[in-house]
Amino acid sequence: MVQHNSLGRKAFVYGNYVLLALIALICIFPLVQVLAISFSSSSAAASGVVKFFPVDFTLDAYKYVAKKPEFIRSFLITLERVALGVSINMLITILIAYPLSKDSSQLRFRTGFVWVFVFTMLFSGGLIPTYVVVKNLHMLNSIWALVIPGAVPIFNVILLLNFFRNIPKELIEASFIDGSSQWNTLWKIVVPVSLPALATITLFATVGHWNSWFDGIIYMNQTDKYPLQSYMQTIIVARDMSNLSADDIMRLKNISDRNIKAAQIFLGALPILLIYPLLQRFFMTGIVLGSVKE
């Protein structure tokens, strides 16, 4: 019989702690270096001497980025996109996953419906047909062009569908015995006990909308309609020097492309870094089993 307080057991546990800590540091170091470069001088960033601490600390890169009206405008557009997109994604995902989680005896042709959704994951209409549809629906240069084409995330639907199927049937049947309708059962029983799955797909949807940049370039004919990631991508690839003011030119003497890129990368990742810890507390196990008393 293995003793939990034996020397070998302690060595194994502490060894795991050290290994996981090293893996965590390896994952964090790139972001720390980007942050350090954004706070360093242009000469230090260009020479490659910045590692994990700023060299010749300066805020010029953030001042340059934050005072750009294009950056503020694109940031607000992205916030609007995330608010609308995630709300629509979650509503549609829940309304599709709940009926598809039923047995074939309760929903005829359920398997066929599921395969219809799976088929869209394997085959799509392509970029040009999608663009034509968006154009014919008069959604170009509008926030809806960024939200509606991806309104049904099939992968999230399948994740939530499988989670709903694992909810004990006794819980659902008890609500029906009490006279609850399908609608009330969904929102008052199923959704509350599905917080871990809902938190996970909410995070997926948020990250997807926040990091998306290609659709903004495709569907927006005006640069002032770009979301944040599309705006940042165009600046990182090719910075337009013709629209710079005298103050911008003076600031650029103290900062380089590497400083600006690092500052934009960190600002673009910061909201997700703040949101993730809030959703992390919902990633727990046993909430469904704990909702049914023996």
Instruction: Output the average pLDDT for the chain.
Output: 80
Instruction: Tell me what percent of the residues of the chain surpass a pLDDT of 90.
Output: 17
Predicted local distance difference test score (pLDDT) of residue 289: 37
**How many domains does one find in the chain?**
2
Tally DSSP H helices, then E strands, for the chain: 17, 0
**For residue 293, is it left (φ>0), alpha (ψ between -120 and 50) or beta?**
beta
Q: 99 and 211: one domain?
A: yes
Residue 290 has pLDDT above 60, yes or no: no
| 55 plus 75 within the same structural domain | no
Across 43-52, 161-170, 183-192, 212-221, least confident range: 43-52
Label residue 236 by pLDDT band (50, 70, 90): low
Residues 39, 73: one domain? no
> pLDDT-based confidence at 87, cuts 50/70/90?
very high
The pLDDT of residue 283 is above 70: no
Kindly report, residue by residue over 45-54, the tens digit of the pLDDT: 777 778 878 8
Instruction: Report the alpha-carbon distance of residue 104 to residue 148 in Å, rounded.
Output: 30
Range of the domain at 34: 7-61
Q: Is residue 261, in this structure, part of any structural domain at all? A: yes
Q: What is the pLDDT of residue 238?
A: 55
| Confidence (pLDDT) at 270 | 80
Q: How far, in Å, CA of 131 to CA of 158, rounded? A: 26
Clarify whether residues 143 and 280 are in a common domain.
yes
pLDDT tens digit string along 22-43?
A: 988 888 888 888 888 888 877 7
